[in-house]
C-alpha cells in the first residue's frame, strides 16, 4: 500500500493592537542676561534654530522683556543638542547666554 501524504492549511487572522506613543517634547529656552548682545541672540536663533530674522527678533524681544523665550520645541535628544550648540557658540564668543530645556 502506498502512503498518502496530506497537508492541511489553516488561515489565521491575527489582529495586533499597537499603541505608538509620540515622544515627549521639550522647550529650548533662552534665558535673559545683562551681557549677551541682542544681535548675538538673533544670530543663535537664525543659525541654530533656523528662524527667520523677523521671528528671531520677536523671540529676542520676548527674552529681553520676559526674562526667557522659547527658541523651539523638539524631542529630548534634539533639544539637548541645540542647547549644547547654543551654549558652545555663546562661550566661544565670550557671552554668558544661558540655555535650558524644559518638558512641555
Indicate whether 40 belongs to any domain: yes
- Give the domain extent around 59: 34-96
What predicted TM-score, i.e. pTM, was given to this entire model? 0.81
Indicate whether 75 belongs to any domain: yes
Tell me how crowded residue 103 is: count the other CB atoms within 10 A of its CB.
9
77: domain CATH number? 3.30.1390.10
Count how many domains the chain has.
1
Q: Is the pLDDT of residue 1 over 70?
A: no
Q: Is the pLDDT of residue 7 over 90?
A: no
Report pLDDT digits (tens) over 12-69. Answer: 778 888 889 999 999 999 999 999 999 999 999 999 999 999 999 999 999 999 999 9
Amino acid at each position: 500500500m502506498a502512503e498518502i501524504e496530506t497537508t492541511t492549511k489553516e488561515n489565521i487572522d491575527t489582529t495586533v493592537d499597537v499603541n505608538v506613543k509620540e515622544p515627549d517634547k521639550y522647550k529650548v529656552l533662552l534665558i535673559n542676561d545683562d551681557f549677551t548682545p541682542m544681535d548675538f541672540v538673533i544670530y543663535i536663533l537664525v543659525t541654530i534654530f533656523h528662524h527667520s530674522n523677523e521671528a528671531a527678533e520677536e523671540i529676542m524681544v520676548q527674552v529681553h522683556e520676559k526674562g526667557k523665550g522659547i527658541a523651539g520645541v523638539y524631542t529630548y535628544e534634539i533639544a539637548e543638542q541645540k542647547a549644547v550648540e547654543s551654549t558652545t557658540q555663546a562661550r566661544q564668543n565670550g557671552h554668558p547666554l544661558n540655555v535650558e530645556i524644559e518638558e512641555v
